[in-house]
């Protein structure tokens, strides 16, 4: 792992004080980058790093590129040639158009967005609260509560799906988007991720707040939460992805075609009699893009220094 760890003189993390404006924060981040990328990294190791990045890139991106390429191929192009052709000979966006003709993509995407966004909000709030209690508070029954979450994570989802469906019917929630969100709205795995993140925080960071007389909610909101932004971003990504990708549960619990989520709706593209793989590929690209964008937006949270928002003063 030559040179993979950050070197050089760190800008004191505390420099980024609370109340710093967005601009100064951005400037600080830029400074951090420059520091990171700076001349301290020898050319040889930089080249090596890019070679490694490119190798992993080639391994990772293949299927995605192939999907993209298929989705851009016209109807006259043979897509079953061997070896597969990576570049469409007559690139066209017609397949994306066709997806929109076959299913109301925007309506379905909106449903998915509602479900995924709610799932992010409930998971971030619910699992950070639970995770904080499990990691930082002492109380009787803590172990038991922890075990409950571990067990919940291990329950084979498929085996309880019909029971969940019956519950939703009894709550008169079947065929609603709420029913789609509810079972996964505070994922046990996310609780454990948050617990782990809070547990890894140095104990000192809360001590100052305790001395200042902050109560437990203040400590949670003002001190602990800002220190685990990275993990919150992970939970948000997982929650979004989980809700966005879920197929079986929304299929079971929804019956109105108009309420379908995107993943369920895109399944219509696999026709009973004829399937156009190009249109299916276009559909999968439509489904995947928001996830990649979501990742691209949230990834910066993973790369901030520990100091930011954590140990203050």
Partner 1 sequence: MPFSGKLAIRTAIGLGAVASLTALTACGSGGSDSSSSSSGKITGQISFQTWNLRAGYKDYFTGLIKDFEKQHPGAKVKWIDQPADNYAEKLSSDASAGTLPDVVNVSPDLSSPLAKAGVLLNLDKDPVAAKYKAQYTDAAWKGDAIPGQDGTYSFPWYLNTGPMFYNKTLFKQAGLDANKPPKTYDELFQDANKIATNSHGKIATLAGTPTIEDFGQYGVQLMSADGTKFTYNSAKGVQLLTQYKKLYDNGGLDSQALTSTPDQKGQKFKEQKVAMNPGSAYNLQDFKENAPSLYKNLGISNVPNNTGHQNMYVQSLGVSKTAKNKATAVAFAAFVTNQKNQEAFAHKVTVFPSTKGSLDKPYWSKEDGTDEGRVRVASAKQLKTAINYTPPVMTDEMKTVLQQEIAKCMQGKESPKQALDNAVAQSNKLLQQG
Partner 2 sequence: MARRPSATRTHAASSPWLFLLPGLVVTAAFSLYPFVSTVWKSFTDARTLSAGTWVGLQNFTDMVHDDQFWTGLRNSLLYVVCVVPFTVMLPLLLAMLVRRYVPGISFFRAAFYTPVVASVVVVGLIWVWMLDDRGLVNGMLHAVGAGPVHFLSNQWLLLFSAMALTVWKGLGYYMIIYLAALANVPNELHEAAQMDGAGAIRRFTTVTVPAIRGTMALVGALSSVAAFKVFSEIYLLAGPSGGPGGEDTSLVMLVQRTGTGLTGRTGYASAISVVIFVITLLLMLLVLRLDRKDKE
Interacting residues with partner 1 (CB under 8 A): 75-82, 102-103, 156, 158-163, 165-166, 169, 174, 245, 247-248, 251-252, 255-257, 260, 263-278, 280, 283-284, 287
Specify the stretch interacting with partner 2 by CB under 8 A; choose among 18-26, 87-95, 108-116, 214-222. 214-222
Distance CA 34, CA 31 (A): 5
Other C-beta atoms closer than 10 Å to the C-beta of 206 total: 19
Q: Which two tokens stand for residue 139?
A: 């109380």
Count CA atoms within 13 Å of residue 216 on its CB side: 7
Q: Which of residues 218-277 bind partner 2 (CB under 8 A)?
A: 220, 227-228, 230-231, 233-234, 237, 241, 245
Closest to partner 2 by CB, 166 or 258? 166
CA distance 41 to 242: 38
CB of 161 to partner 1, least distance (A): 5
Tokens of 75: 């109807």
Subset of residues 45 to 84 that bind partner 2, contact rule: CB under 8 A = 46, 49-50, 52-53, 56-57, 59-64, 66-67, 82-84
List all residues 6 or more positions away from 145 whose beta carbon is below 8 Å from its beta carbon: 130, 133, 134
- Contact 310/14 with Cβ under 8 angstroms? no
Distance of alpha carbon 289 from alpha carbon 65, whole angstroms: 12
36 belongs to the binding site for partner 2 (CB under 8 A): yes
110 binds, among partner 2, partner 1, none (CB under 5 to 8 A by kind): none
Minimum distance of partner 2 from residue 102's CB (angstroms) = 17
Q: Which residue has the tokens 């192009």?
A: 77
d(CA 68, CA 13): 42
199 binding partner 2? (CB under 8 A): yes
- Specify the residue, 155 or 258, whose C-beta has the smaller distance to partner 2: 155
Coil vs helix vs strand at 229:
helix
Query: What are the structure tokens assigned to 45, written together?
Result: 């190791």
Which residue number, 19 or 296, has a Cβ lying nearer to partner 2?
Answer: 296
Pick the closer one to partner 2 by CB: 92 or 164.
164
Query: Taking CB under 8 A as the rule, does residue 4 contact partner 2?
Result: yes
Question: Which residue's CB is nearer to partner 2, number 110 or number 210?
Answer: 210
């Amino acid at each position: 792992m030559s040179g993979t760890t950050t070197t050089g003189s760190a800008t004191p993390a505390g420099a980024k004080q609370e109340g710093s404006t967005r601009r100064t924060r951005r400037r600080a981040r830029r400074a951090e980058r420059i520091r990171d990328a700076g001349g301290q990294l020898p050319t040889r190791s930089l080249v090596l790093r890019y070679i490694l990045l490119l190798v992993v890139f080639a391994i990772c991106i293949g299927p995605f590129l192939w999907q993209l390429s298929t989705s851009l191929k016209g109807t006259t192009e043979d897509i079953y040639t061997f070896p597969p052709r990576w570049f469409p000979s007559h690139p066209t966006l017609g397949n994306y158009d066709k997806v929109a003709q076959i299913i109301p993509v925007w309506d379905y995407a909106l449903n998915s967005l509602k479900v995924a966004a709610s799932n992010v909000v409930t998971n971030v709030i619910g699992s950070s609260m639970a995770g904080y209690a499990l990691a930082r508070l002492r109380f009787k029954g803590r172990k038991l509560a922890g075990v409950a979450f571990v067990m919940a994570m291990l329950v084979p989802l498929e085996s309880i799906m019909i029971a969940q469906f019956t519950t939703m019917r009894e709550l008169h929630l079947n065929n609603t988007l709420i029913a789609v969100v509810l079972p996964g709205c505070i994922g046990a795995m996310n609780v454990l991720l948050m617990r782990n993140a809070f547990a890894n925080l140095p104990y000192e960071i809360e001590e100052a707040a305790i001395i200042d007389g902050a109560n437990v909610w203040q400590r949670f909101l003002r001190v602990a939460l800002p220190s685990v932004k990275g993990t919150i971003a992970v939970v948000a990504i997982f929650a979004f992805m989980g809700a966005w990708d879920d197929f079986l549960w929304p299929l079971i619990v929804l019956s109105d075609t108009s309420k379908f989520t995107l993943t369920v709706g895109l399944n219509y593209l696999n026709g009973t009699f004829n399937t156009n793989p190009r249109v299916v590929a276009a559909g999968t690209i439509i489904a995947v893009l928001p996830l990649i964008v979501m990742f691209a937006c949230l990834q910066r949270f993973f790369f901030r220094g520990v100091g930011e928002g954590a140990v203050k003063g």
